[in-house]
Amino acid sequence: MKTKLTSKFLILLLSFFVLSSCDKFLEEDLRDEITPDAFFTNDKEAELAVNGVYRLYHNNNLYGQRGLDNYYTSGADIQAASRNVNNAIHNYLIQEGTADGNGTWIQLYRVINNTTEFISNIEGNENLSQEAIDQRLGELLFLRALAYYHLTNLWGDVPFYTEQLPVPERSVLGRSPKAEIRSAMKADLARAFDLLPTSYSGSNLGRASKWAAATLKAKYHLFDGEWALAKAECDIVIDQSPHRLLDNYADVFDQSDPSNQYNDEYIFVVDFEADLVGELSTTRTDDYNPRIRDEPAGRNNDTIVDGVSGSKVSIFQGLLRDRNEDMTGFGWSVPLPEFASKENWQEGDLRYDATIVSEYLGWKLSFPYFRKNWNLDQENSLRSNHPENYIVFRLADVYLMAAEAENELNGPGNAFGYVNTVRERAFEPDQPWSGLSQDQFREAMYDERRFELSAEGHRRMDLIRWGILLERVQSVQHRAWNNPGANIQPYHVLLPIPQNQLELNPNLLESDPSNNGYR
């Protein structure tokens, strides 16, 4: 990487913060109090620097639009676009310089550059209180570990550093083994757990807690097949944290009230806010919202409703406007036919209606959509200006990870309890698992995570770690404009190191001239 966050650049970054009456921690602005000669001289300056790192995760190459979703949800067996867009990614036409994730790579290393510099400036800083040092270090360690989590998921071996390096040294780094990076991040997350608070309230909601650190550490262990360690972290969150499963699955995703977007199941979210300057709002919701040009089915046909005649689309849109709603989205992320069909869900699964919508206001839609991720509200959630938070980790995922880890360790006996806790709210009447062998439990978990966590950024990495990505992509039904099964190759479990990065740093090919199999 060629970029380096100097003190002057830091001030420039902070200058983008906005003034607002909403009082959330990402909206503070201390530009008049900060100068390059007086940085980290008090607790508030350290807080502001950490806020800047949270802001980096709002970028469209990460959580703000479809940056991470491109590689975590597309190209799997649940969702794709409603038309022939994003086909290089979904159809596995990825090459160096084509959908190779360069923007995501750059933004993740911005996080790493910033967190590494801030850690060195905060640790042992006599101008700061010990309480401030502990919390800010904990947050920075978590935020850096999250960046390396994504980098190693998407590219495997990548450049690695946790100390400040001069630009000439950093710009010629080769790739370090994924195992080495993840080992260091697990240690950092253990430290972060000890440093971070147990909870937040008010304007600090959205910060990383010790339970977020434990959940991310569990993810690392799970992905590395370290079952006992993964389960231990999950049990800490389940047994010791204040988080709980909500009684109603649909309520988990209800963010219709912008002033009340948190609930007890959320462990870590990226907090977005509408009507503010910069990257505080999100466009990701637009990917899940329908386009009115597509809806409803037979939209250009004439019809009569309550004595009023006109085209279906004009009458349908009138009904939407009566509710202060509209379909102004992009339609980039709709369920695939197999996932959208209720016949492919277990009978009695209440999650189906909370997840899939194929009919709205009594009108059949041309495509199914993810009800859990859409928001048609034209007062509080406008196109390209949405406030919905990105749910990175929630407690149901932790229960399912614990179930999987316990099954791999000891068989299904004690694993049933974890998965059945999640299924208890999913079915009416209750349909708990029992009597499965270890292999049957493992394979049943493939679908359980699919139905519980669909469109939440987990599916493709789950398929990869289970070793079944190719099988699923080649067997699931896609729409006419997509044919990923004809193109996907074993090496597509990783991305190629981006072409732009190779041009800047040829040393990235030293340890693997094939560039993850793309050459």
**Has residue 488 been placed in a domain?**
no
Alpha-carbon gap, residue 356 to 90, rounded angstroms = 21
Question: pLDDT-derived band of residue 3, with 50, 70 and 90 as boundaries?
Answer: very low
Q: What does DSSP assign to residue 31?
A: T
Pair 196, 227 in one domain: yes
- Report the number of distinct structural domains present in the chain: 2
- Report d(CA 425, CA 517) in Å as an integer: 44
Same domain? For 143 and 217 the reply is yes
pLDDT tens-digit readout, 37-81: 446 899 999 999 999 999 999 999 999 999 999 999 999 999 999
Contacts of residue 345, Cβ cutoff 8 Å, sequence gap at least 6:
351, 352, 451
Displacement of CA 379 from its chain's centroid (Å): 25
| Tokens (6 digits) for 415 | 């694993």
pLDDT in tens, 238-255: 999 999 999 999 999 999
pLDDT attached to residue 412: 98
Residue 350 in any domain: the answer is no
CA gap 222, 466 in Å, rounded? 11
Residue 1 lies in a domain: no
**Residues 194, 227: one domain?**
yes
Q: Are residues 300 and 362 in the same domain?
A: yes
Question: 324 and 261: one domain?
Answer: no
User: Do 122 and 150 have their domain in common?
Assistant: yes
pLDDT at 153 over 80: yes
Given a cut of 90, whether residue 1 has pLDDT beyond it is no
Mean pLDDT across 166-184: 96
Does residue 197 sit in the same domain as residue 95?
yes
In a domain, 23, yes or no: yes
For residue 197, whether the previous peptide bond is cis, meaning omega lies within 30 degrees of 0, is no
Do 217 and 189 lie in one domain? The reply is yes
**What pLDDT, on a 0 to 100 scale, did the predictor assign at position 278?**
72
CA distance 368 to 56: 33
Q: Are residues 310 and 200 in the same domain?
A: no
Using alpha carbons only, what angle is made at residue 244 by residues 239 and 249, rounded to the nearest 5 degrees?
140
Q: Per the domain annotation, does 363 fall within a domain? A: yes
Residue listed under structure tokens 């749910």: 391
pLDDT exceeds cutoff 50 at 502: yes
Query: What is the radius of gyration, based on Cα positions, of the chain?
Result: 23
Q: What average pLDDT does range 284-291 have in this prediction?
A: 97
pLDDT at 346 over 90: yes
Confidence of residue 310 (pLDDT cuts 50, 70, 90): very high
Percent of the chain predicted with pLDDT > 70: 93
For residues 171 and 297, state if they share a domain. Answer: no
Tokens representing residue 483 in the block: 């044919």
Residue of 399, 424, 288 whose CA lies nearest to 349: 424
Strand partners, 268: 393
Q: How confident is the model at residue 308 (pLDDT cuts 50, 70, 90)?
A: confident
* Interatomic CA distance for residues 47 and 127, integer angstroms: 13
Q: pTM score, two decimals?
A: 0.93
Q: At what angle do helices 227-240 and 395-410 cross, to 10 degrees?
A: 140
What CATH number does the domain containing 162 carry? Answer: 1.25.40.390
Q: What is the mean pLDDT of residues 143-162?
A: 98
* Residue 141, token pair as written in the block: 């360690």
**Residues 199-223 pLDDT 10s:** 999 999 999 999 999 999 999 999 9
Assign 23 a pLDDT band (cuts: 50, 70, 90).
low
Mean pLDDT (the chain) is 92
- Indicate whether 16 and 82 sit together in one domain: yes
| pLDDT of residue 387 exceeding 80 | yes
Rounded CA gap, 496 and 405, in Å? 30
pLDDT band with cut points at 50, 70 and 90 for residue 30:
very low
C-alpha 476/C-alpha 332 separation (Å) is 18
In-domain check, residue 322: yes
Residue 60 main-chain phi, psi, to 5 deg: -65, -20
Query: Which of the 8 DSSP states describes residue 59?
Result: S
Q: What is the pLDDT of residues 429-454, one digit of tens each?
A: 999 999 999 999 999 999 999 999 99
The range of the structural domain enclosing residue 37 comes to: 7-245+254-273+493-509
Q: Same structural domain for residues 331 and 267?
A: no
